Amino acid sequence: MRNTVLATAVAATQALAAPQAFAQAKGSATKAEVQAIEAQMKALAERLNKLESTNTQLQSENAELKAVVDRREAEIDYLKSQTRELREEGAVASNEIGKVKGADWATKLKGRGDFRYRHEMIDPERVVNGQAEDAADRTRHRIRARLGFDYKVTDTLKGTLLFATGGDDPRSSNQTLGGTGTRKSIGVDMAYVDWKFMDGANLVLGKQPHPYFRPGQSMFFDGDFNPEGGAVKFDRGMFFGTGYGWWLTEQYNANPKGENNDSNLFGAQVGMKFPLLGGETVLAAHYFDCGACQDNSPLYANNGNGNTTFTLPGSTTNLLRYDYEILQLSAQMGTTLLGQPFTFWADYGQNMASGVEYDTAYGVGVVLGKASNAKTWEVGLSYQDIGKDALFAQFIDSDFGDGVAGADGWVLKAGYAPVRNVTLNATYLKNQRTICGTGTAPNNRTCGAGIPEYELDYDRWQLDVNYKF
């Protein structure tokens, strides 16, 4: 704009000066020179006209731009007024929400759950007239559904409530289908609080998941069993550990000896984890003592689940013969094989109580792959041998050897995840159970006091469809 005005002024000056110069030069100039000067004056006049026209156009455009700017400023002022009104309304709404107790609960509540459909076949043996023979095969369909919520009270305190199908069996939340479509039971599976009282340390109280490390696919403890009591856990750097106390029975009914003791269990685990061979290796030592268990009846359904029991004269109540002071050593090594995650694990347990004959349990296994994300798979193979009184049988996996101590055998598992949060699993258990019976056992072994001991085959197939959310 400034350059245009300057050019206009120069041209005008030249145009005004041109007639005077022309008059002065007219008398002495030739005709050709006069014509050249007249041509220059004409060109300057044309240029001046063009500059004036351009200046008029620019003035018009400038006016239009000013009008646009004025409209935009008006719009901005309107939007600012609307923003102030919205802020005021938002403040009022926030104040009303804040008046409602727990108005922010939705942001602190997280739901989770899973559903499993299982087809299962069982091929067992039984003792008839002192001989082992095939029992009737069993085929059944079972479901397991769990739904829970985690509530974040503060950054260091949370609570969990989980419901699950199943009855009173502490080692199973499966519900067998049948009963002509009757409604199925559901109950509280977990209910606990978790307080992080310092970095790397937590206090957990209530009905909670297993608080300690379990290697690989070990079946020394059933994954469905959720203990009740308290636990303190720490995890700092390469070291971790747990100390816990569980209530097993409260105000235990007087046993035939006239005693009345609460049964409980106290234990601790320490361990370390460190990188090795491109993966993580974990070593752990675990010890627990079952208090007031010896000479009391088994804690669930008067069934020792393979642990040695006895009865007093005139009584039909089974009593546990031994105490259970269990030392457990666990190891797990992770690496890669054939481009897939590979895990080797081992588990060893021994009942340190006095007088126990079958006091040792061990398990070893491998897992190749990991069925987690879509299109992933895994396969695992393990062998376990659980002595009759090596472990507290109320906790061992209910699938292995039909959930009894005094069992050994192989477990083959395979899994595939076709899509995220869905897995297909197949499990085959080929086990032998050791039970006490009557007659004369073929192996001439006894359970004590002349009672014959039998080894019975136990095969179990499971096909599962799992969905997590």
* DSSP output for 385-454: EE-TTTS-TTTS-SSGGGG-SSEEEEEEEEEEEEETTEEEEEEEEEEEEEEE-SS--TT--BSSTT-BEE
> Is there a domain that residue 105 lies in?
no
How confident is the model at residue 44, as a pLDDT? 83
Give the pair of three-digit tokens for residue 347: 């588990």
Whole-number Å distance between alpha carbons of 297 and 311: 9
User: Are residue 87 and residue 178 in the same domain, yes or no?
Assistant: no
User: Are residue 83 and residue 225 in the same domain, yes or no?
Assistant: no
Q: Residue 33 — pLDDT band, cuts 50, 70, 90?
A: confident
Question: Residue 24 is part of which domain span?
Answer: 2-98
Winning range, highest mean pLDDT, from 55-69, 164-178, 329-343: 329-343
User: Are residue 121 and residue 163 in the same domain, yes or no?
Assistant: yes
What percent of the chain is modeled with pLDDT above 70? Answer: 85
Residues 439-451 have pLDDT tens digits of 555 555 556 556 7
- Rounded to 10 deg, the angle between the 2-26 and 31-98 helix axes is 170
> Is there a domain that residue 223 lies in?
yes
Whole-number Å distance between alpha carbons of 262 and 240: 30
User: Are residue 170 and residue 66 in the same domain, yes or no?
Assistant: no
The pLDDT of residue 22 is above 50: no
> Is there a domain that residue 408 lies in?
yes
Give yes or no for a contact between 206 and 199, defined as CB atoms under 8 angstroms apart: no
Whole-number Å distance between alpha carbons of 25 and 461: 124
Give the pair of three-digit tokens for residue 274: 């460190």
User: Are residue 94 and residue 154 in the same domain, yes or no?
Assistant: no
Residues 274-317 have pLDDT tens digits of 999 999 999 999 999 998 888 888 877 677 888 988 888 888 88
Give yes or no for a contact between 148 and 162, defined as CB atoms under 8 angstroms apart: yes
> Is there a domain that residue 176 lies in?
yes
Burial class (CB in 10 A: 0-12, 13-18, 19+), 203: middle
Whole-number Å distance between alpha carbons of 297 and 169: 16
User: Are residue 336 and residue 415 in the same domain, yes or no?
Assistant: yes
Number of domains in the chain: 2
How confident is the model at residue 339, as a pLDDT? 92
Give the residue among 146, 151, 159 at the shortest CA–CA distance from 188: 146
Cβ atoms < 10 Å from Cβ of 49:
11
Contact partners, residue 445, CB within 8 Å, separation at least 6 = 452, 453
User: Are residue 182 and residue 324 in the same domain, yes or no?
Assistant: yes
User: Are residue 165 and residue 300 in the same domain, yes or no?
Assistant: yes
Residues 185-229 have pLDDT tens digits of 999 999 999 999 999 999 999 999 999 999 999 999 999 999 999
Single out the residue in 70, 98, 126 at which a domain terminates.
Answer: 98
User: Are residue 242 and residue 358 in the same domain, yes or no?
Assistant: yes
> Is there a domain that residue 104 lies in?
no
User: Are residue 228 and residue 123 in the same domain, yes or no?
Assistant: yes
Looking up residue 253, the CATH number of its domain turns out to be 2.40.160.10
> Is there a domain that residue 106 lies in?
no
How confident is the model at residue 424, as a pLDDT? 98
User: Are residue 91 and residue 199 in the same domain, yes or no?
Assistant: no
Taking residues 415-441, report their average pLDDT. Answer: 87
User: Are residue 341 and residue 424 in the same domain, yes or no?
Assistant: yes
Single out the residue in 98, 128, 150 at which a domain terminates.
Answer: 98
* Per-position b or e across 406-419, b if 16+ CB within 10 A of its CB: bbbbebebbbbbee
> Which carries the bigger pLDDT value, residue 327 or residue 28?
327
Whole-number Å distance between alpha carbons of 328 and 66: 86
Single out the residue in 44, 64, 98 at which a domain terminates.
Answer: 98
Conformation bin of residue 179: beta by default, left when phi > 0, alpha when psi is -120 to 50:
left
> Is there a domain that residue 242 lies in?
yes
> Is there a domain that residue 192 lies in?
yes
User: Any idea which of 102-116, 160-174, 321-335 has the lowest mean pLDDT?
Assistant: 102-116
Sign of torsion, CA 446 448 450 452?
A: negative
How confident is the model at residue 5, as a pLDDT? 44
Residues 222-259 have pLDDT tens digits of 999 999 999 999 999 999 999 999 998 876 555 555 55
Winning range, highest mean pLDDT, from 104-118, 379-393, 441-455: 379-393
Residues 354-366 have pLDDT tens digits of 999 899 999 999 9
Whole-number Å distance between alpha carbons of 227 and 265: 10
